[in-house]
């Protein structure tokens, strides 16, 4: 059964005719300079709730899991983060696109989201780094978006009911018709999306953080030492690669389906398991590879999906969160020191399934889910959050130094043994 949103409905959405200049208030003029050119758009959730708004970005129909991000900045990094593959992102900050887009803030080669939802959008960005408006950027990359809806009501809906599939369309404006497509789409649980975002070839990454933006005096090549790191690409963000390079690592990126044997042929000092989208329990090959790599006793470090894959390889289970953690102000800690972290994940490790050889190092202080772990005897650790930021605070950047320190200790121990 279809239900309409019971939240506030923008006045102009109640009038199906295009908003003319005579009807437009001064406040609305900046949001849309030519509303007569804006197509009506429809958002329908899997439970039948529907929202009518206006299109920005590409036209057409898209289906994905509807989630929300609470960050007040960093929309371009969010849109291009491969971890959002398969999802339609609701931005809770009411103004989107004010600073436009630029090539430097892309976390991958293109937007990875299925769609975008906003309250207001800006068609005339104002920023010295901007090269393109957000609507034009999404149009160019064939990503549909809807704006003009009550994103506060939608966010409350997701918090109360949970993340669910939804669809955005500019061509299907009958809610019942769009609902049928939404309900036929597979749910995120059990979905392996890694093949959609992983690299198909091996490559070496050399770019560091721009010296003008470097925020950590601990980086800067770490005294000229070089450590070879093989990074399994489950959907890796570029800024993770930059931080590894800035900390003196030679980074070799390999496809997610690379075997443990092929990884060890690179003779790495350390192994990195990247972030990525979908259900970690469905990434069976990645979990098996991580399990085999544990026997090498090489230093291993995982972030987000990599953290979950590492936990699964150590015998833990995962479960799906009701609405996930997506934002830039998630507190994490355990021993009295709190880090404010950037997070983006739908799943978490189960604490009652961890083996005795695994120690929890961080908890999400909002809901006490596992945010970090380490092995008690092996040089292996991971975090659920994103220490590379981009967007987000830099509180946890020291995690990269910890990885480098573990590789240095392993190298020293190997030299002493020989």
- Is the CB of residue 7 less than 8 Å from the CB of residue 152? yes
As a whole number of angstroms, the distance between CA 340 and CA 213 comes to 20
Burial of 47 (0-12, 13-18, 19+ CB in 10 A): middle
Q: Rounded to whole angstroms, how far apart are CA atoms 411 and 414? A: 5
Partnered with residue 271 across adjacent β-strands are: 230, 300
Let me know: does 92 contact 68? Beta carbons within 8 Å: yes
Give the residues across from 90 on adjacent strands. 68, 117
Catalytic residue check, 304: yes
87 in a known ligand binding site: no
CA atoms within 13 A on the CB side of 348: 22
- Find the distance separating the first CA and the last CA of the chain, reported in whole Å: 71
CA distances for 294 relative to 15, 301, 307, 415, angstroms: 61, 11, 14, 21
- CA torsion 193-195-199-202 (nearest 10°) is 130
69 annotated to bind ligand? no
Q: What is the CA radius of gyration of the chain?
A: 22
CA dihedral 246, 248, 254, 255 (to 10 degrees): -30
386 classed as catalytic: yes
Residue 30 falls in the annotated catalytic set: no
**85, 122, 249, 304: the active-site residue:** 304
Q: In what order do the strands lie in the sheet with 249-255?
A: 203-205, 249-255, 227-233, 270-273, 300-303, 380-383, 370-375, 358-364, 318-333, 338-349
216 assigned ligand-binding residue: no
Residue 129 in contact with residue 210, Cβ under 8 Å? no
Q: Which residues pair with 82 in a beta bridge?
A: none
What one-character-per-residue DSSP string does 29-41 give? HTT-S-GGGPPEE
b/e map of 290-312 (b: 16 or more CB within 10 Å)? bbebbeeebbbbbbbbbbbbbbb
Report the Cα 286 to chain-centroid distance in Å: 19
Tell me whether residue 55 is annotated as binding. no
Q: Does an H or E element contain 28, and which?
A: helix 26-29
- 316 belongs to an annotated ligand binding site: no
Catalytic residue numbers? 304, 386, 388
- Which residues are annotated as part of the binding site for L-glutamine? 83, 276, 278, 305, 308, 344, 347
- Which residues are annotated as part of the binding site? 83, 276, 278, 305, 308, 344, 347
């Amino acid at each position: 059964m279809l239900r309409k949103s019971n939240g506030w409905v923008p006045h102009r959405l109640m009038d199906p005719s295009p908003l003319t200049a005579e009807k437009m208030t001064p406040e609305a003029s900046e949001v849309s300079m030519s509303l007569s050119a804006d197509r009506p758009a429809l958002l329908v959730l899997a439970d039948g709730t529907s929202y009518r708004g206006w299109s920005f970005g590409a036209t057409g129909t898209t289906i994905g899991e509807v989630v929300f991000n609470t960050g007040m900045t960093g929309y371009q990094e969010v849109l291009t983060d491969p971890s959002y593959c398969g999802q339609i992102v609701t931005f809770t900050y009411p103004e989107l696109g004010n600073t436009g887009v630029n090539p430097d803030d892309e976390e991958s080669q293109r937007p990875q989201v299925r769609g975008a939802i906003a309250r207001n959008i800006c068609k005339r960005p104002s920023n010295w780094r901007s090269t393109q408006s957000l609507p034009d950027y999404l149009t160019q990359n064939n990503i549909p978006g809807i704006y003009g809806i009550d994103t506060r009501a939608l966010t409350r809906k997701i918090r109360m009911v949970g993340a669910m599939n939804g669809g955005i369309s500019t061509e299907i404006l009958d809610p019942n018709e769009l609902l049928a497509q939404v309900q036929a789409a597979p749910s995120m649980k059990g979905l392996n999306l890694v093949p959609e975002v992983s690299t198909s070839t091996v490559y070496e990454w050399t770019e560091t953080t721009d010296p003008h933006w470097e925020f950590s005096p601990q980086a800067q090549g770490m005294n000229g030492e070089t450590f070879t790191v093989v990074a399994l690409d489950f959907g890796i963000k570029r800024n993770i690669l930059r931080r590894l390079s800035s900390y003196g690592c030679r980074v070799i990126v390999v496809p997610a389906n690379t075997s443990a044997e092929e990884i060890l042929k690179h003779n790495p000092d350390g192994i990195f398991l990247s972030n990525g989208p979908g259900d970690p329990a469905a990434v069976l090959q990645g979990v098996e590879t991580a399990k085999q790599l544990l026997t090498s006793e090489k230093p291993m470090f995982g972030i987000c999906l990599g953290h979950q894959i590492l936990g699964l390889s150590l015998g833990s289970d995962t479960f799906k969160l009701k609405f996930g953690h997506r934002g830039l102000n998630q507190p994490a800690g355990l021993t009295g020191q709190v880090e404010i972290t950037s997070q983006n994940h739908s799943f978490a490790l189960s604490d009652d399934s961890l083996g005795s050889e695994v120690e929890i190092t961080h908890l999400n202080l909002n809901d006490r889910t596992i945010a970090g772990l380490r092995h008690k005897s092996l040089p292996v650790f991971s975090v659920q959050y994103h220490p590379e930021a981009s967007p987000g605070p830099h509180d946890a950047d020291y995690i990269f130094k910890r990885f480098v320190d573990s590789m240095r200790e392993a190298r020293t121990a190997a030299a002493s043994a020989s």
